[in-house]
Amino acid sequence: MRIKIHRGQDQIGGSIIEISDNQTSIIFDVGLELDNDEQDIPQIEGLFIGEPKYSAVFISHYHADHLGLAQYLLPSIDLFMGEKSFLVNRFVNEYMHKASVPNPSVFTSESTVNVGDISITPLLCDHSAFDSYMFLIKCDGKTVLYTGDYRANGRKSFSALLKRLPEVDVLITEGTTLSREYTQNKKEEDLERLAVENIGNNSPIFFLQAATNIDRIVTAYKASRKSELLFLEDLYMAGITSIIGGSIPNPKTFKYVKVFMTGNSDERYNQLLEYGDKRIGRKEISQNRFAMCVRPSIKNYLNKLSEEISFDSGVLFYSMWSGYKEKKDVMKFLDFMKSKGVKIITLHTSGHADAETIKKLINKTSPKWILPVHTENAAWFKTFNINVLINSDSLNI
């Protein structure tokens, strides 16, 4: 068996990982590099150019640093991903008028897929993207676990996942948080409690967060309902939560969730009509106590809303990675909210495993080899008495 890390070994994001034997070659994740505005498609023979050499590509989750190159695959290569993952990605692309990935074959957690003589079992895991998976791979008599991105501080049980994991020959794991100063991740439940404490009698309440971070939407919703606030999603977020449905707060099936529209195009208005009496206008919003999920691009809308109600005793929960505060549009937006009298409170936790969580995974799977990916601190793994692939991008065992 051969494992080759085409990309993403010494960097966070942009992962492309190959696992192959004499008969079959499979790729796991085809990600774009983060913070790279000029992305050339990597010249990987048989994947993006030339004669197809790979039978299939498996995508762990919908973040662009794992999925972003899927639309450039050679057409005869089968694409596999989770169903909700695909639906969210398709909605996001259609909403933004961007090209979508080709229709994939969908897998479900714990159902093994056989491609040639390699078997792949997806295992649902917790991450800041919904519908994220690890992959347990059997190839050439060996067992490999590729983690994708994961964490133990979300709402899915990490210990239940650990129980399902066998000992493996090779562990390919992310180590995103290892280059940052060590802290134990706060749990989503901690954020919920903190939000309730800080909402108190303040009004209005705003949450600034990624519309695709579904766990965080659940946290914001739960804190809002405990504070008896109406929960407001804009059309974009409402589209995502409605596609996922089930226990995820969305205007179509949740009594206290409503949807608002910020632009004035016919296309958006037609989308809004789909929500029937769950849509809400500025006048009605201003007559309620509410929590609103916001984005920098809806600044003009909020400016108009501030003419209807005072934002003076308002709170905005900043619920994203702190690095985004350096981005121009975010900076401008926060300044704007401050100028309206809104207090900014940070409410965030990582979507990636902390060191304790990675240790637990290593102890449970007791690998013979560790291949760190999605990290800037692969050397951290040397503290275990296990072979670590650091200065080479391929392993033959």
Taking the C-alpha atoms of residue 58 and residue 72, their distance in angstroms, rounded to an integer, is 14
391, 372 contact by CB (below 8 A): no
Q: Residue 126 interacts with Zn ion (CB under 5 A)?
A: no
Q: Residue 65 interacts with Zn ion (CB under 5 A)?
A: yes
Residue 351 C-beta: closest distance to Zn ion, Å: 6
Residue 118 C-beta: closest distance to Zn ion, Å: 23
Q: Phi/psi at 381 (nearest 5 deg)? A: -70, -15
Only one of the segments 55-63, 205-213, 222-230, 375-383 lies at the binding site for Zn ion (rule: CB under 5 A); that segment is 55-63
Q: In this complex, which beta carbon is closest to Zn ion, that of residue 342 or of residue 371?
A: 371
Q: In this complex, which beta carbon is closest to Zn ion, that of residue 25 or of residue 212?
A: 212
Distance between terminal CA atoms of the chain?
Answer: 6
Residue 215 C-beta: closest distance to Zn ion, Å: 12
Only one of the segments 43-51, 60-68, 331-339, 340-348 lies at the binding site for Zn ion (rule: CB under 5 A); that segment is 60-68
Residue 323 C-beta: closest distance to Zn ion, Å: 14
Looking at the DSSP assignment, which residues form a beta bridge with residue 25?
20
Q: Residue 215 interacts with Zn ion (CB under 5 A)?
A: no
Contacting residue, 33, 149, 188, 354, with Zn ion by CB under 5 A: 149
89, 69 contact by CB (below 8 A): no
Q: In this complex, which beta carbon is closest to Zn ion, that of residue 169 or of residue 215?
A: 215
Residue 149 C-beta: closest distance to Zn ion, Å: 4
Q: Phi/psi at 126 (nearest 5 deg)? A: -95, 135
Q: How many CA atoms lie within 13 A of 359 on its CB side?
A: 8
Only one of the segments 72-80, 143-151, 196-204, 278-286 lies at the binding site for Zn ion (rule: CB under 5 A); that segment is 143-151
Contacting residue, 17, 56, 58, 63, with Zn ion by CB under 5 A: 63
Structure tokens at 300: 């003009």
Buried b (16+ CB within 10 A) or exposed e, 261-300: bbeeeeebeebbeebeebbbebeebeeeebbbbbbbebee
User: Contact residues for Zn ion (CB under 5 A)?
Assistant: 63, 65, 149
